[in-house]
Amino acid sequence: MLDSNRSKRGKYLKSKDKMNIVILAAGMGKRMRSDMPKVLHPIAGRPMLAHVLERARSLAPARLVVVYGHGGERVPAQMAAPDIVWARQEPQLGTGHAVMQALPWLDDTVPTLVLYGDVPLIGQATLARLCAAAADPGCMALLTVRVPDPTGYGRIVREAGRILRIVEHKDADAATRALDEINTGVMVVPTPALRRWLAALSKDNAQGEYYLTDIIAAAVADGLTVVGVQPDALPETLGVNSKAQLAELERAYQRQQADTLLAQGITLIDPARLDVRGRLICGRDVSIDVNCVFEGEVTLGDGVSIGPNCVLRDARIEAGAQVLAFTHIDGAVVGPGSRIGPYARLRPGTELAADVHVGNFVEMKAARLDTGAKANHLAYVGDAVVGKRVNIGAGTITCNYDGVNKHRTIIGDDAFIGSDTQLVAPVEVGAGATLGAGTTLTRNAPAGKLTVSRARQVTLDGWKRPVRLPKD
């Protein structure tokens, strides 16, 4: 058998960069105690299955098949993509039965890699070694790991160092249960042989299911060598069957992100209190305080400082800017040397130039502030274009929404907007203009002049404060 397989070696080598990938994602996950399909539960803000698909796509598979089941069409509906073939497993009769559902779409000229939709942290380097170990058609490769407590896992049975079979925990005797090397389920298998071995599976076992692990003994019986490959780190092999395990993998993922940032020279005040839920790109001498969340794509330029308890989503913070505590920045650009917060909120479409100050309890949406502009506290600036060196006083509001449409406010360079001002858009404030405190601006304010709109102050002599009437 080995000799005949080696005669096909050239064929396999020509396809060594291609393979079928089957992702098993049909499990119910009863211990999750959730109506959501297990593989849709998030790690770092994305479904677990999305992480596995990303890793699978990095291998440029010839076929990508996802086997789904629990949750009906919710999984393919949410994760639909043109490169995925969806195969439904109904009823669900074990891992071997799950892989059977993918067989019609597999290419026999390349091997098949089996992954799991609830094992989201599998590493690219680990998969590369696993695939390399299975490059010879006389071999199949199996990802194994040694753990302190193997309870519940299938045990790897070896003889003279060679893998002979896998025994599931429920079917194992005491001696086998004492083994600490376990099966992760991740494997690379010659596809024609996989078809033959799956067809011969039996569900005569403790769980009454078709075990994919039974193909190991079949491979050995056919004369193939089963090569065991170990992961770079244990979390790569861990699956999720409960909310506690989901939380553990979330922290493992975030620790990986923190370690990567630390290796790049980023200062993390506490690496255990960081959440990266997307892509975080940092320049030199960046500092990030505790409990910060980064979502989507966030870029931090050289010398940027992020204070504690900030949330940044799809944002660009340019060199030397400071983001102070409890600030939320979503879909915005902060220019170099600017100072934002604490307790500020920048909403989508906001663009700040250099040296802009946005202070506490200031909200901005679709606003552009030019160099040196300031809104230091308690203001709302929406759908506005603000010039250089403008000062926006406390309590200022751009009244941009008439209940149906949004309107723009334009403020020229060096204008001074007094406290408690309402600018009823569409309206313009000329360069160098001053608006007195309490002004409600409904018409354009001319450049270089003071514009005031307020009620005349009146004092009423003889007025007395009301007194509480006696109760009946």
| Residue 119 zone, left/alpha/beta (φ > 0; ψ -120 to 50; rest) | beta
Identify whether residues 199 and 312 lie together within a single domain.
no
Would residue 325 count as lying in a domain? yes
Task: Decide if 428 contacts 412 (C-beta within 8 A).
Answer: yes
Q: What is this structure's pTM?
A: 0.88
DSSP string, 282-334: E-TT-EE-TTEEEEEEEEE-TT-EE-TT-EEES-EE-TT-EE-TT-EEES-EE
Would residue 310 count as lying in a domain? yes
- Of these residues, 41, 51, 377, 407, which one is catalytic? 377
Identify whether residues 54 and 173 lie together within a single domain.
yes
Last residue of a domain, one of 237, 269, 288: 237
The DSSP element (H or E) to which 55 belongs, if any, is: helix 48-57
Last residue of a domain, one of 237, 259, 275: 237
Identify whether residues 276 and 386 lie together within a single domain.
yes
Q: Is 70 a catalytic residue?
A: no
Identify whether residues 230 and 252 lie together within a single domain.
no
Identify whether residues 218 and 263 lie together within a single domain.
no
Task: Decide if 362 contacts 342 (C-beta within 8 A).
Answer: no
Identify whether residues 116 and 175 lie together within a single domain.
yes
Task: Decide if 129 contacts 37 (C-beta within 8 A).
Answer: no
Identify whether residues 84 and 159 lie together within a single domain.
yes
pLDDT in tens, the chain (472 residues): 333 333 343 344 344 458 999 999 998 888 899 999 999 999 999 999 999 999 999 999 999 999 999 888 999 999 999 999 999 999 999 999 999 999 999 999 999 999 999 999 999 999 999 999 998 878 999 999 999 999 988 999 999 999 999 998 989 999 999 999 999 999 999 999 999 999 999 988 888 899 998 999 999 999 999 999 999 999 999 999 999 999 999 999 999 999 999 999 999 999 999 999 999 999 999 999 999 999 999 999 999 999 999 999 999 999 999 999 999 999 999 999 999 999 999 999 999 999 999 999 999 999 999 999 999 999 999 999 999 999 999 999 999 999 999 999 999 999 999 999 999 999 999 999 999 999 999 999 999 999 999 888 899 999 999 898 888 7
Range of the domain at 293: 243-451
Identify whether residues 134 and 261 lie together within a single domain.
no
CATH number for the domain including 64? 3.90.550.10
CATH number for the domain including 327? 2.160.10.10
Identify whether residues 294 and 205 lie together within a single domain.
no
Number of domains making up the chain: 2
